[in-house]
């Protein structure tokens, strides 16, 4: 060992420590005026991949079931275990990133996500695939817990809204491309290509992250991780997501669903009580005392409920009431995320100039009005397409401004924690949208007295979309009720 040091060759311990040390950006990157935007571009790759993967895997489920000779219950866990691990671990990962370095966990997240994607693609059986999906979810959590935090800590004042708007556009493009890309990949090469496609993007993201992302200059003090809080939060979120998943099939009155919801409520209550007295909490409950943060988290959850509820219910209606093939229904539905992607960067700039109150209020009000039009569009697909575009534009106005407000909360060394909480609520909102959409659609379709498959499905669609319109209106009211910001 002494000879190695004398020759300037690092020993084994030095190499090991280097793995946990964030490398500095090259000088030619750091000195560029566009350096902050290179951070945004790198983060957008992860945002795009995350949404693409979320929307692409569902199309591969039937092929996985057939190829692996698995039961429907087993195959459903391919999507469910990813969501459970992602939402359950993201707050803890955000807390770790604040202490260890956001660049470190973000780039390693790309590596882990890429290796797990390869494991999914090579899976010989359903058990292997489920384990690989759980590991892939940890990698995705490492990306999501740090994405907004990296933008917040890299962008100069007055540019945060625009930067988060670009990230929102990348997410929307990934969401929009998922169904079409997934259909092409499954049709051309089989379900395994749904995971192979992540590998080149992951390698590119890993390399760019290593060279373009800045080191974490303001870290939280290194303290013992709040394991008690984590052991309460993970089963609490797991029980909630399982309950919502089962509710979409069995209804909220089912005893299993009621038991899971009750367990989740008890565990969340215990988590909050513990976090308020924990010496080094996983989530600083003091953040929620700020009206802008708690209101932003609440309205953000409602917006994702609306978005994914519409994306879930609309294809069911188009197929049942209009006999529209899945490919055509997917293309019509793509209008929504395209509208979001087009307006989000502009909305971010608007938020930087006017403050968050105007774009968040106008955006959710526009989404509510467009949802009302969609609910009673009848058989007019042109009107339905215009309404979907209006929903996308409304959510595109809302999301960057709201996310920028939430991301700016707390101290700089809490950026990872804040980002983790924000993404956890996004996962819960997504699950709520699917669960409530399914229950409302089935409830109204089953009790419709008009008779016939098409009229019954129309009744279910109208009820679900009307409830989503009311939800969007509630979010608009909450957004406008906040204190007036400078410039708004």
Cα torsion 275, 279, 282, 286 to 10°: value is 60
pLDDT of residue 17: 64
Taking the model in full, what pTM does it have?
A: 0.82
On the question of pLDDT at 366 being above 90, the answer is yes
On the question of pLDDT at 482 being above 70, the answer is no
On the question of pLDDT at 303 being above 60, the answer is yes
**Is the separation of the CB atoms in 344 and 168 below 8 Å?**
yes
Looking at mean pLDDT, say which of 13-17, 220-224, 295-299, 375-379 comes out highest.
295-299
DSSP 3-state of 190: coil
Higher pLDDT among residues 380 and 465, named by residue: 465
pLDDT of residue 196: 92
Where do the domains of the chain lie, and which CATH numbers do they carry? 23-225 (1.20.1250.20), 283-482 (1.20.1250.20)
CA–chain centroid gap for 464, Å, is: 22
On the question of pLDDT at 272 being above 80, the answer is yes
**Is the separation of the CB atoms in 62 and 78 below 8 Å?**
no
Q: Which residues contact 456 (CB under 8 A, 6 or more apart)?
A: 444, 445, 446, 448, 450
The structure tokens 């007036």 sit at 484
d(CA 475, CA 296): 10
On the question of pLDDT at 275 being above 60, the answer is yes
């Amino acid at each position: 060992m002494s000879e190695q040091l004398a020759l300037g060759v690092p020993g084994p311990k030095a190499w090991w420590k280097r793995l946990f040390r964030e490398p500095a950006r090259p000088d030619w990157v750091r000195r560029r005026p566009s350096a902050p935007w290179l951070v945004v571009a790198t983060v957008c790759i992860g945002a795009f991949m995350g949404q693409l993967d979320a929307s692409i895997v569902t199309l591969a489920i039937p092929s996985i079931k057939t190829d692996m000779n698995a039961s429907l219950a087993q195959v459903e866990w391919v999507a469910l275990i990813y969501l459970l691990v992602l939402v359950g671990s993201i707050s803890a990962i955000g807390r770790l990133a604040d202490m260890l370095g956001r660049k470190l966990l973000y780039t390693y997240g790309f590596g882990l996500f890429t290796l797990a994607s390869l494991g999914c693609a090579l899976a010989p059986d359903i058990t292997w695939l489920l384990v690989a999906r759980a590991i892939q979810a940890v990698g995705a959590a490492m990306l999501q817990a740090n994405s907004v935090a990296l933008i917040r800590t890299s962008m100069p004042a007055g540019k945060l809204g625009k930067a988060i708007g670009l990230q929102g556009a990348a997410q929307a493009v990934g969401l929009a491309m998922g169904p079409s890309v997934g259909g092409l990949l499954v049709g051309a090469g089989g379900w395994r290509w749904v995971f192979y496609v992540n590998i080149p993007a992951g390698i590119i993201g890993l390399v760019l992250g290593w060279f373009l992302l800045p080191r974490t200059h303001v870290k939280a003090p290194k303290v013992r991780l709040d394991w008690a809080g984590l052991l309460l939060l993970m089963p609490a979120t797991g029980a909630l997501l399982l309950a919502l998943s089962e509710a979409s099939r069995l209804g909220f009155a089912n005893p299993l669903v009621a038991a899971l919801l009750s367990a989740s409520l008890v565990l969340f209550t215990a988590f909050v009580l513990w976090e308020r007295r924990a010496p080094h909490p996983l989530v600083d409950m003091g953040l929620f005392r700020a009206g802008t943060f708690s209101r932003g988290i609440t309205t953000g959850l409602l917006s994702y409920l609306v978005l994914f509820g519409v994306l879930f219910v609309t294809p069911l209606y188009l197929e049942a009431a209009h006999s529209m093939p899945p490919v055509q229904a997917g293309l019509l539905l793509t209008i929504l995320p395209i509208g979001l992607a087009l307006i989000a960067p502009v909305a971010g700039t608007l938020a930087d100039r006017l403050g968050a109150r105007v774009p968040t209020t106008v955006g959710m009000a526009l989404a509510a009005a467009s949802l009302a039009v969609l609910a009673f569009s009848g058989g007019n697909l042109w009107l339905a397409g215009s309404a979907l575009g209006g929903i996308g534009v409304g959510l595109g106005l809302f999301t960057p401004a709201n996310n920028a407000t939430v991301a700016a909360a707390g101290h700089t060394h809490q950026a990872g924690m804040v980002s983790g909480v924000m993404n956890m609520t996004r996962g819960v909102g997504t699950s709520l949208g699917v669960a409530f959409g399914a229950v409302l659609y089935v409830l109204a379709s089953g009790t419709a007295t008009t008779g016939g498959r098409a009229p019954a499905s129309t009744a279910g669609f109208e009820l679900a979309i009307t409830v989503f319109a009311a939800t969007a209106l509630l979010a608009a009211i909450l957004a406008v009720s906040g204190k007036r910001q400078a410039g708004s």
